[in-house]
Structure formats: C-alpha cells, structure tokens
Amino acid sequence: MLLMGVPLARSQLLELADLLEGERLGALLRRAHEQQVIAFALAPDEAERILSVLGDPPPGFEELRSVLLRETEPQRAAGRRTSIGRGVRRA
C-alpha cells in the first residue's frame, strides 16, 4: 500500500494501526488494509497524529516519517494547519 506516496507492507500498515489503537485513524488504517486499498492520503490532522507516534520511528517507518515531516513542516513553521488533502484509491 502507498501511504502518502510511501510504499508500506501490509504488516507495516497493521503495525501503524496498532500504534493508533482505539483511535479513529487506527480504525481507518485497519479498514484500508481489510479493503486492500492501494493508495491512501492523509488529512492534515492525521499526518500530525502519525508523526506524533513516529517520533523515534520503528524500523521501516523512517521514510514515512521523513515524507510527513517534509509535507507538514512549512505550514507548522508558519503556525498554520497543513493542506495535504485526503484520498483513497482501491484496487
């Protein structure tokens, strides 16, 4: 699956969902896995939430963290919300 353009193995997607257990975003990622979604974009608050659980990213999540930081840094530096957008594409 592609999450914000970053390829993740299905096991990584489930690991990320586990890090967000009990949260709406965790459930969304788990549903994306179940429905075999091939590409998933994040809303600004979702990107920020994933960054908060990937502070010291587990192995395999370094690229995702880097992309999310790059996408959100200009807006965070200016004190504004990000405008990443949201989208899902299924197989």
User: Which tens digits make up the pLDDT trace of 2-26?
Assistant: 999 999 999 999 999 999 999 999 9
- Which residues constitute the domain of residue 75? 2-90
pTM of the complete model: 0.77
Paired strand residues for 3: 6, 40
Closest to 17 (Cα-Cα) out of 5, 28, 26: 26
Instruction: Provide the pLDDT for residue 57.
Output: 86
pLDDT number for residue 76? 67
What are 48-80's pLDDT values in tens digits?
Answer: 899 999 988 889 999 999 999 998 876 667 665
70 class by beta-carbon count within 10 Å (0-12 exposed, 13-18 middle, 19+ buried): exposed
Question: Domain count of the chain?
Answer: 1
Residue 29 identity: L
